[in-house]
């Protein structure tokens, strides 16, 4: 995968695939994806700018033919076709409106004589991304073709062409058949039946006591996602969805609902996909139906290239399974936050999904799609998702992606949009301290939230300001700058100023926020004054993002992370990072216990997927409420699945030490378990690890690495199993 994608290499593939302008498929699909959110029947698009694909794109390639060759050209959109700079006649009848989406593309055939040639094809499509498919004996559209949105090719009064557009390699994925163009993309489906259908004893809430016939509550057995199908419908029915039975039965407050009427010829596909475990259906007078089913919708994955985990504790195994199912439900066209409510891509949520995904499905296409979509297009008019922290995570996610995949072609593709996003960030940094007295903390060059920025950090249950210059944000910004420096170096771009800027910021964060007294980073500078609140947020990111070196890290663990006086984190979102610091500190037993309490706690409450937020001190329907709404909380939220990542990286102990697992290390740890066993996917292979109290085994199918036990480093070569015995004194 990494090899195939290597930078700008010319691939002469033996088959054709649909091509388009890089990022445009994601921008277009992202709008469809994010606009599927509904709230009680109303569409709920995001509050950030939705971009559009480039509506006119030119594709080109030069080649030499030994023999005359007849090619078939198909395009999504109206197109032209120039051979060696000369436009060719395409009969009018093969044109269609560029304003509608095409499920079946328009095709024509053309014969090209032997010799050296250049093909240029321009495709225009307002509704879906302009896309091209050409196939012949030797001519195939693929990523060796170039794409541009402005060729700048002008013709002077003598008919001579001049110009200098900017060309990039065309994008492609797996659309390898002429009749499956990009706009036809759909996830997979599988029919499921409810496990029970009951008439509720207690009459559900109703707006009016109209004596309407009582309905039926269907239970699909666990949280699921897809398209409800009502077979044999006559008349009108009302459908109330619930992640809990309480929600489905609360007609006034359930988050999603539908009204279906048979006489407008509804097909199954007319009911938009929903997240639910329960469905409560009421019939209007005279209405009836035969059966209720659903089409479960999912992104297919390769089971033989997936992570796994098993151990001696069934509760931990159960947590891993439910976390994996939570991930599978939220891994879709893009990584989604939660399946019921937002159904959006959120950068802060996504970066965790990516990391979990590297230990579960290794679906790098979904990572790339999500990164592209979150970035969208220039001009940058807001932070990613409007959230400052989410912009910074976006940069970090490219760092992580490169680390796990070694795919520099993607870094190269994203680089121009990284630069313009960082330009936006830098244009909003605090100016050099002018007249402010030297005694006030120096926040020049730091990122302070502006009126139109959302500073998220976390949903917290304790008082915490999000105004001023937050230490947490600066650490993320430092990492973003370091990512810029890393990528510039990787691409051979002379932008060493990012390295300097990151280093300057690193020093300034320490000077400004570190308390030598408290051995901790303070929270923020507000209006020239230090807010000396201490929270886990900046302190744990100081550890995770490499601001704190070993000695300081140990101090922070004691003064903050293990200090019971510091307010607790209550979202799985930040527990992800919190637990990682504990594991870096070697507290594997403690973290297993935290998993049993926290994730086990959700299972104990009946969770079939992990939640957006969990407070063990709440009970009953309190667990369902959030955002001031009784069922506002998402019960299937990607950030709840962090055990996948933690168990893979810190118990199986596998991580890349050179990009794309060219080199890796395996540092297994049992914690309090008797045995563990599992797999971690790598770009083109798998690493299998098993450990019990007596021995460890490692097998890797690509790359090379080290099995690390205490101070020992044992070399692991591809396809050679390494077994070592553990001394009792370990």
* Site for its own copies, residues 230 to 269, rule: CB under 8 A: 257-261, 264
Q: Which of 70, 196, 212, 381 binds its own copies (CB under 8 A)?
A: 381
Query: Checking DSSP bridges between strand 86-87 and strand 131-135, what pairing results, if any?
Result: unpaired
**Considering beta carbons, is residue 50 or 312 the nearer one to its own copies?**
50
**Using rule CB under 8 A, residue 91 touches its own copies:** yes
Shortest Å distance, C-beta 118 to its own copies: 16
Q: Which residues touch 624 (CB under 8 Å, ≥6 apart)?
A: 243, 244, 246, 247, 630, 631, 632, 633, 635
Residues 55-84 within binding reach of its own copies (CB under 8 A): 55-56, 78-82
Nearest 5°: phi and psi at 500? -65, -45
Q: Judged by CB under 8 A, which stretch of 153-161, 314-322, 431-439, 635-643 contacts its own copies?
A: 153-161
**Considering beta carbons, is residue 38 or 563 the nearer one to its own copies?**
38
Shortest Å distance, C-beta 59 to its own copies: 13
How far apart, in Å, are the Cα atoms of 425 and each of 246, 446, 483, 546?
Answer: 44, 10, 14, 21
Residues 101-120 within binding reach of its own copies (CB under 8 A): 101
Q: Judged by CB under 8 A, which stretch of 404-412, 446-454, 543-551, 555-563 contacts its own copies?
A: 446-454
**Considering beta carbons, is residue 82 or 245 the nearer one to its own copies?**
82
Shortest Å distance, C-beta 83 to its own copies: 11
Cα 690 from Cα 305, distance rounded (Å)? 17
Cis peptide bond upstream of 680, omega within 30? no
Shortest Å distance, C-beta 124 to its own copies: 5
How far apart, in Å, are the Cα atoms of 37 and each of 45, 262, 336, 644, 665?
Answer: 7, 24, 11, 27, 41
Q: Which of 272, 491, 500, 568 binds its own copies (CB under 8 A)?
A: 272
**Considering beta carbons, is residue 94 or 532 the nearer one to its own copies?**
94
Residues 3-42 within binding reach of its own copies (CB under 8 A): 28, 31, 35, 39-42
Interaxial angle between packed helices 408-427 and 364-375, expressed in degrees from 0 to 180 and rounded to the nearest 10: 30
For residue 431, what is the DSSP state? P
**Using rule CB under 8 A, residue 163 touches its own copies:** yes
Structure tokens at 639: 């950030």
**Considering beta carbons, is residue 103 or 491 the nearer one to its own copies?**
103
Structure tokens at 265: 């010829």
Q: Judged by CB under 8 A, which stretch of 61-69, 96-104, 428-436, 480-488 contacts its own copies?
A: 96-104
Q: Judged by CB under 8 A, which stretch of 160-168, 277-285, 363-371, 718-726 contacts its own copies?
A: 160-168
Binding residues for its own copies, how many (CB under 8 A)? Answer: 85
Q: Judged by CB under 8 A, which stretch of 244-252, 389-397, 543-551, 627-635 contacts its own copies?
A: 627-635
* HEC sequence for 492-519: CCCCCHHHHHHHHHHHHHHHHHEECCCC
**Considering beta carbons, is residue 463 or 628 the nearer one to its own copies?**
628
What are the DSSP calls for 660-676, one per residue?
GGTEEEE----TT-SEE
Q: Which residues touch 319 (CB under 8 Å, ≥6 apart)?
A: 595, 596, 599, 600, 603, 643
Shortest Å distance, C-beta 450 to its own copies: 9
Cα 538 from Cα 68, distance rounded (Å)? 65
Q: Which residue has the tokens 């921008």?
A: 27
Indicate the SS3 state at residue 282. strand
Q: Judged by CB under 8 A, which stretch of 5-13, 50-58, 699-707, 713-721 contacts its own copies?
A: 50-58
Cα 58 from Cα 70, distance rounded (Å)? 21
**Using rule CB under 8 A, residue 318 touches its own copies:** no
Could you give the string, one character per residue 644-683, with x where binding to its own copies holds by CB under 8 A and - elsewhere? ----------------------------------------
Shortest Å distance, C-beta 227 to its own copies: 13
Shortest Å distance, C-beta 157 to its own copies: 4
Residues 597-616 within binding reach of its own copies (CB under 8 A): none
Cα 579 from Cα 590, distance rounded (Å)? 9
**Considering beta carbons, is residue 89 or 516 the nearer one to its own copies?**
89
Cα 389 from Cα 457, distance rounded (Å)? 7
Cα 476 from Cα 480, distance rounded (Å)? 6
Structure tokens at 704: 């090379």
**Using rule CB under 8 A, residue 153 touches its own copies:** yes
Structure tokens at 461: 């249950």
Q: Which of 16, 60, 128, 141 binds its own copies (CB under 8 A)?
A: 128
Task: Give the CA count within 13 Å in the CB-facing half-sphere of 332.
Answer: 26
Shortest Å distance, C-beta 244 to its own copies: 19
3-state percent breakdown (helix, strand, coil) of the chain, nearest 5? 30, 25, 45
Shortest Å distance, C-beta 52 to its own copies: 4
CB 340 within 8 A of CB 243: yes
Q: Is 65 exposed, middle or buried (0-12, 13-18, 19+ CB in 10 A)?
A: middle
**Using rule CB under 8 A, residue 214 touches its own copies:** no
Q: Which residue has the tokens 């996917």?
A: 681
Cα 383 from Cα 424, distance rounded (Å)? 8
Shortest Å distance, C-beta 369 to its own copies: 18
Cα 279 from Cα 249, distance rounded (Å)? 8
**Using rule CB under 8 A, residue 378 touches its own copies:** yes
**Using rule CB under 8 A, residue 122 touches its own copies:** yes
**Using rule CB under 8 A, residue 464 touches its own copies:** no
**Using rule CB under 8 A, residue 467 touches its own copies:** no
Q: Which of 167, 289, 296, 459 binds its own copies (CB under 8 A)?
A: 459
Q: Which of 117, 433, 596, 629 binds its own copies (CB under 8 A)?
A: 629
Can you list the alpha helix ranges (DSSP code H) found in 514-562?
A: 536-544, 550-556
Structure tokens at 662: 């060219």
**Using rule CB under 8 A, residue 95 touches its own copies:** yes
Shortest Å distance, C-beta 380 to its own copies: 9
**Using rule CB under 8 A, residue 623 touches its own copies:** no
**Using rule CB under 8 A, residue 150 touches its own copies:** yes
Q: Which of 109, 111, 116, 154 binds its own copies (CB under 8 A)?
A: 154
**Using rule CB under 8 A, residue 504 touches its own copies:** no
């Amino acid at each position: 995968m990494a090899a195939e994608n290597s930078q700008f290499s010319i691939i002469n593939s033996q088959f054709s695939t649909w091509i388009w302008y890089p990022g445009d498929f994601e921008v277009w699909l992202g709008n469809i994806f994010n606009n599927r959110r509904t709230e009680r029947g109303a569409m709920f698009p995001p509050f950030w700018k939705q971009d559009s694909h480039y509506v006119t794109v030119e594709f080109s390639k030069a080649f030499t033919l030994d023999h005359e060759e007849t090619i078939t050209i198909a395009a999504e959109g109206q197109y032209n076709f120039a051979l060696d700079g000369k436009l060719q006649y395409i009969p009018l009848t093969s044109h269609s409106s560029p304003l509608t989406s095409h499920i079946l593309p328009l095709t024509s055939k053309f014969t090209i004589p032997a010799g050296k040639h250049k093909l240029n094809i321009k495709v225009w499509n307002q509704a879906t991304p302009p896309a091209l498919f050409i196939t012949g004996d030797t001519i195939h559209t693929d990523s060796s073709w170039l794409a541009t949105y402005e060729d700048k090719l002008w013709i002077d009064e003598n008919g001579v062409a001049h110009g200098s557009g900017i060309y990039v390699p065309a994008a492609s994925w797996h659309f390898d058949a002429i009749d499956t163009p990009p706009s036809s993309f759909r996830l997979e489906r599988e029919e499921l039946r409810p496990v029970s259908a009951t008439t509720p004893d207690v009459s559900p809430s109703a707006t009016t006591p109209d004596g309407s016939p009582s309905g039926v509550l269907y239970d699909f057995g666990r949280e699921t996602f897809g398209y409800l199908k009502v077979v044999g419908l006559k008349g009108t029915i009302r459908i109330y969805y619930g992640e809990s039975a309480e929600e489905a039965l609360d007609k006034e407050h359930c988050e999603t609902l539908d009204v279906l009427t048979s006489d407008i010829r509804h097909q199954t596909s007319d009911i938009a996909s929903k997240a639910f475990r329960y469905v409560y259906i009421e019939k209007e007078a005279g209405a009836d139906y035969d059966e209720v089913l659903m089409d479960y919708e999912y992104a297919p994955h390769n089971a033989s290239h997936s992570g796994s985990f098993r151990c001696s504790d069934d509760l931990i195994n159960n947590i891993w399974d439910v976390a994996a199912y939570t991930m599978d439900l939220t891994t879709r066209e893009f990584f989604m936050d939660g399946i019921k409510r937002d159904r959006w891509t959120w950068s802060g949520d996504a970066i965790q999904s990516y990391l979990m995904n590297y230990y579960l499905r290794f679906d790098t296409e979904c990572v790339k799609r999500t990164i592209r979509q979150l970035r969208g297009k220039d001009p940058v008019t807001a932070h990613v998702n409007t959230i400052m922290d989410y912009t910074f995570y976006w940069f970090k996610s490219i760092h992580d992606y490169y680390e796990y995949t070694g795919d520099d072609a993607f870094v190269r593709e994203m680089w121009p949009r990284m630069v313009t996003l960082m330009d936006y960030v830098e244009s909003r940094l605090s100016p050099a301290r002018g007249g402010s007295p030297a005694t006030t903390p120096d926040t020049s060059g730091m990122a302070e939230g502006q009126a139109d920025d959302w500073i998220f950090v976390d949903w917290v249950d304790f008082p915490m300001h999000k105004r001023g210059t937050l230490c947490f944000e600066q650490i993320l910004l430092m990492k973003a700058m370091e990512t810029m420096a890393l990528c510039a170096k990787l691409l051979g771009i002379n932008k060493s100023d990012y390295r300097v800027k990151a280093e300057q910021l690193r020093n300034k964060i320490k000077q400004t926020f570190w308390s030598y007294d408290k051995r901790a980073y303070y929270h923020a500078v507000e209006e020239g004054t230090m807010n000396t609140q201490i929270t886990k947020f900046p302190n744990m990111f100081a550890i995770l993002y490499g601001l704190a070196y070993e000695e300081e890290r140990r101090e922070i663990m004691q003064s903050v992370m293990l200090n019971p006086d510091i307010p607790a984190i209550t979202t799985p979102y930040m527990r992800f990072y919190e637990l990682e610091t504990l594991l870096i500190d070697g507290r594997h037993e403690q973290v297993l216990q935290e998993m049993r309490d926290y994730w086990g706690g959700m299972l104990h409450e009946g969770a079939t997927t992990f939640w957006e937020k969990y407070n063990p001190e709440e009970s009953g329907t309190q667990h369902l409420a959030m955002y001031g709404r009784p069922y506002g909380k998402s019960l299937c939220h990607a950030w709840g699945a962090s055990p996948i990542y933690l168990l893979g990286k810190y118990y199986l102990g596998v991580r890349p030490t050179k990009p794309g697992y060219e080199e890796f290390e395996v540092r297994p740890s049992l914690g309090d378990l008797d045995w563990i066993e599992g797999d971690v996917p790598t770009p083109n292979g798998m690493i299998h690890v098993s450990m019990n109290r007596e021995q460890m085994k490692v097998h890797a199918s690509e790359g090379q690495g080290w099995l690390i036990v205490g101070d020992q480093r044992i070399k692991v070569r591809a396809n050679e199993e390494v077994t070592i015995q553990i001394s009792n004194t370990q």
